[in-house]
Chains A and B, each alone.
Chain A
Amino acid sequence: MIEIKNVNKYFDGFKVLDNMNMKVEKGSIYGLVGVNGSGKTTLLKHLTGVFKPDSGEITIEGEPVFDNPKVKSEVAYIIDDLLCLGLRNLEEWGKYYSSIYPQWNGERFSELIKELGLNPKNNLSKFSKGMKKQAAFALAMSTCPKLLVLDEPLDGLDPLVRRKVTKHIVDDVAEREMTVVISSHNLREIESLCDTVGIISEGNMQIEKEMDELKSDVCKIQAVFKTEPDLSGLNVLVREKRGSVDLMIIRGDIEATEDYLRQFDPLVLDILPLSLEEVFIYEAGGENDEFSKLLF
């Protein structure tokens, strides 16, 4: 659905996006992670048609997004600053959106703001940061977009509201095949929501994989061997001995790894699941790598 091909973007001679490539399937939830200044927000602004790439192309369902109102009418972008247009309350925003988004669903908007406990007549300047975020979410979801672009969507929301927001996103993806691109520093949030992950560093896509594939590619082994095993047939990323216990992070197919280790007749052999955080750390080459900054 979304395809970003060889996109480059310079800010005053500084390369912010460096030959960026990205592919997002229709109906998927794509998590975009990267350190501050890695180019996430810039990429999202390209996706929403705000920025024009210096080179390369960005298409949504085969059509370029920049300066294309037809495509943009199917893209919802959640903004931080609801006061930027001078509209006073959610009622005015609702009317405004209803006039510019063809798929606007007023009933859904009413239901959403009711569910989130927002008064449509209250002045937006009196809303808290979290309330503004909820309001922006309600507006975006009510446009029934084909693509929802979220920049730090759950930041500043309480757990209850997070759950509601997440539920609505997942429901829309399931029911309408809405595509979602989320940028976040919170990897646990990405892990719980996304089915595909892209890691950006210095404006370049370092890793882009489905979540399951990413997790299944690296495993954590806890084993006790009678004799020292020959591990030369495995891609061991990290090995640490704690007494007789061997702790290993190994890249490769989990079943093949298990079969390989079993031939050394281990006394204990436990294969433990890795969290996304751990995957990033070990995939990226250890805790000293910049990806560790995402976690700590």
Chain B
Amino acid sequence: MMNSANYSSKISAALMRDNLKRYWLLGVGGLVAYLITEIFPLITNKIDSWYFSELFEESYFTIISIGTVVPILTAFILWHFLFSQSGTAFVHSLPYSRKQIFHTNNLCAILLIEAPILITGALLLVIRAAFGPIYGGDTSEIMAFAQADVMPYVEIFKWIVFVSALNFVIYVISLTAGLLTGMPLIQPIISCGFLAIGPVGVMIIEYMNECMLYGYDGHMKDLLIQMLSPVTTMDIGSKNGMKFMLIWLAAGIVLYFVAAFLYKIRKLERCGEVLVFKPTRPIAKYMLSLMAAILGGLAFYYIIGNNEGILFVLGALIGGLIAYIGLDMIIAKSVKIKGFVKGFGIMLAIMIVFFGAYYLDIFGYAKYLPEPEEVEGVSITGPGLADYYAGDDFAYSEDGVFNSEEETTVFLKGEEVIKEAILFHGDMAATKGVDFGKHTDGNWMYLLADGRVVNDEEYTSDYSEAVGDWADFYGTYTVSVEYKLKNGKHVYRMYNLPTNFVDSNSHMGKILNSDEYKKTNFDIVNWNLEKMDFDSLSFYLDYSFYSGNDGDSTTIVDKAKIKELAKAIKSDIEGLNLKEMVERGQNSGLNDMTLSFMINKSTKNNSPAKAVSYENTYEYVCNVNASYKNTIALLKEWGLVHIYTADDVRLAEVSKVEAVEGGFVSSKFEVTDPKLIQTIIDTGIDSCWGSNSIYVVNLYFKDVRNDNRMTLYYNEETGNPFE
């Protein structure tokens, strides 16, 4: 049998035939796995509600698992000859060029990996074409989605592209890993290492940043983790998932040529070595040792160290040392360590530079404040801030369409507000060095970033000017700042601050009282009512203070009345000041009432900036509380709400609870004085925590409701009206 070989071709038909003959089982294995994962549920009517949101969402982790194991295994098997002296010598003595071996083996591998995906995809298309739209199985439970097509063509094509790309990329990564090593065991380890190093590195750096960068907010973490590995691209249905996978596909193609180059220059005599390319050895050794040093430092700092900075250093040294020695031994395949002093000296220098750069904040991360002229808008969020003006606290996209996937950020604009916001940010950044972590469990992260450990006295002396009496301080909460710069970039910072920080800050007060803040946060202030058309207005009546006519909700369809009410709300918002808003949050009597304006879409030019969009209408939700005097007065005048007064109360029962050694004692008495009852209604608070002595007041109303009792409290801070 003679053979007419084409030596100049990049593909050897003989090698291809031989590979396919020997390794066809890999392809069959992959096909069976995909059929079980994607086709089996279809043909056995296993589709249930989870298929509705995303057709392949439920099988995502199976797909990722198959897409990781099969390519790594395929790369290992196709290239296993590189890991034995006799195998590598023999294969390279055969009449193939390296180019032929490389391209033929890879073509074969890609065929074995991709063919099952394409076959499964084709079957899905055939099923879709044969049976038309496929709906969920258990419609009795999921009526709302019963008409959804769970397997549209576009989803099938997306699946084919995504899974094919994922498998190709992981194969090329495994191929490259195999070319970097001469040992069979190391190939899957490096492959998995390549897949994990991005997300793991981000998480480690994230912890480092949280630990050492004051103001770090970590908002990019999830996105970076999603970006930096093909196995974490995650949701294939999402815009980012497919986008990242296509970027990975491009990177995989580039990596393929890198692998071709590596194979070309690979010295076959290095078979059997852990890393065959010498330059990769120090990179692997020092990079992994540094990661171990960071992990060691963080572990000691968080777990053992009681947040002591010195333990971070000790942990980093121990982690770095163990990793360096271990990696040196593994790479050299020897228990003897050559040049330890020099090698670990370099390691130490790297650690000093790395950790030093963080500790000294050489890039000025913690100090950074943008110039006002650079900023297009600024957003400040934090617990309590939204309550001050509980306006648009729904998730809307900027184009006014409700979007559950994206949270909307409201940016304050206007020169003065931006200046005040930067000054407020400066005040927050200036808290660097203050040990809030001593006082709350959730604030351990900034100890190293603070740069020192301080006690309460130091805190008071340093900080009393900014936040007032230390005694006011009961805990911390998180305040985030986001700048939208004119160059399109965003800057994020996050601080854990005492709960009274925002209340006490003059810059924040100016922001909250500014028209700009109100215009930005309360779209109703911007409405041109003359040009708007409303379908209806409905609102929920809070049982505790507001009483409607017959039920819990009321709907107004009189367009004139709706406009009048909108005007009242506008005037209330424009007239409110910070103090009223702050106090509002402390009193149960100021509970919100949620008003829903249904705005006719025919008035397009005057549609609200932020609202839920329906077919013919926009829904704008506006929260109103008892501070909205004009609004409440109007509603009262129309007989739509009733605010409880002492006249409505049939019984006021007070329990005094006092902390004594070993427990609490309580005593009970009734209040009958209408003046005192009215005072209770006006000044009681709806909850209190951590007090040693409290009064609990149960008010029983005359009208019959589902629950005609309301409970209010007094403690040391509120004082009590009973003595």
Contact = CB atoms under 8 A, between A and B. Distances in A.
A243 interface: no
A100 B13 CA distance: 9
A241 to B, nearest CB: 51
* CB-based closest 3 A-B pairs: A73-B95, A84-B87, A81-B86
Chain A interface, >50% SS class = loop
B357 interface: no
Given A50-B89, A84-B84, A99-B18, 18 more contacts: A11-B269, A45-B93, A50-B92, A50-B93, A51-B269, A68-B97, A69-B100, A72-B96, A79-B89, A84-B90, A84-B91, A85-B22, A85-B90, A87-B22, A99-B14, A100-B15, A100-B94, A106-B1
Nearest to B5: A102
A87 B18 CA distance: 9
B4 A85 contact: no
14 contacts: A11-B269, A42-B269, A48-B89, A51-B269, A69-B5, A69-B100, A73-B7, A79-B90, A84-B86, A99-B13, A99-B17, A100-B94, A100-B96, A101-B3
Contacts of A48: 89, 93
A68 B92 CA distance: 10
A75 B93 contact: yes
Contacts of B99: 67
B94 A72 contact: yes
Contacts of B100: 69
Contact of A104 (B2, B15, B97, B269): B2
| Chain B interface category by residue count | 20 to 34
A98 B1 contact: yes
A96 interface: yes
Contacts of B90: 77, 79, 81, 84-85
A86 interface: yes
A27 interface: no
A69 B12 CA distance: 11
Contacts of B93: 45, 48-50, 72, 75, 77, 79
B249 to A, nearest CB: 30
A128 B84 CA distance: 20
Interface of B: 1-5, 7, 12-15, 17-18, 22, 81, 84, 86-100, 267-269
B3 A98 contact: yes
A99 B87 CA distance: 19
A164 interface: no
A42 B7 CA distance: 25
Contacts of A75: 93
A96 B2 CA distance: 12
A262 interface: no
Contacts of B96: 69, 72, 100
A42 B267 CA distance: 13
Contacts of A67: 97-99
Interface residues of A, number: 32
Contacts of B81: 84-85
B265 to A, nearest CB: 9
A80 interface: yes
B268 A102 contact: no
A188 interface: no
A249 B12 CA distance: 58
A79 B95 contact: no
A266 B515 CA distance: 132
Given A48-B93, A69-B100, A80 B269 contact: no
A69 B1 contact: no
Contacts of A49: 92-93
Nearest to A87: B22
Contact of A45 (B12, B89, B95): B89
A42 B269 CA distance: 9
A109 B96 CA distance: 22
Interface in A46-104: 48-52, 67-70, 72-73, 75, 77, 79-81, 84-87, 96, 98-104
Contacts of B13: 99
A81 B95 contact: no
Contacts of A86: 22
Contacts of A70: 7, 95
B1 A104 contact: yes
A104 B1 CA distance: 7
A4 to B, nearest CB: 17
Contacts of B18: 96, 99
B89 A100 contact: no
Contact of B86 (A51, A68, A80, A99): A80
B653 to A, nearest CB: 87
Contacts of A73: 5, 7, 95
A138 B90 CA distance: 16
B557 to A, nearest CB: 81
A83 to B, nearest CB: 9
A70 B81 CA distance: 22
A247 to B, nearest CB: 46
Nearest to B7: A69
Contacts of B84: 81, 84
Contacts of A84: 81, 84, 86-87, 90-91
| Residue with the greatest number of chain A CB neighbours at <10 A, chosen from B15, B81, B93 | B93
A103 B97 CA distance: 18
B411 to A, nearest CB: 60
A11 B278 CA distance: 12
Interface in A10-60: 11, 42, 45, 48-52
Nearest to B2: A102
Contacts of B14: 96, 99-100
A266 B197 CA distance: 86
A92 B81 CA distance: 18
A200 B667 CA distance: 108
Most buried by A among B1, B13, B14: B1
Contacts of A68: 7, 97
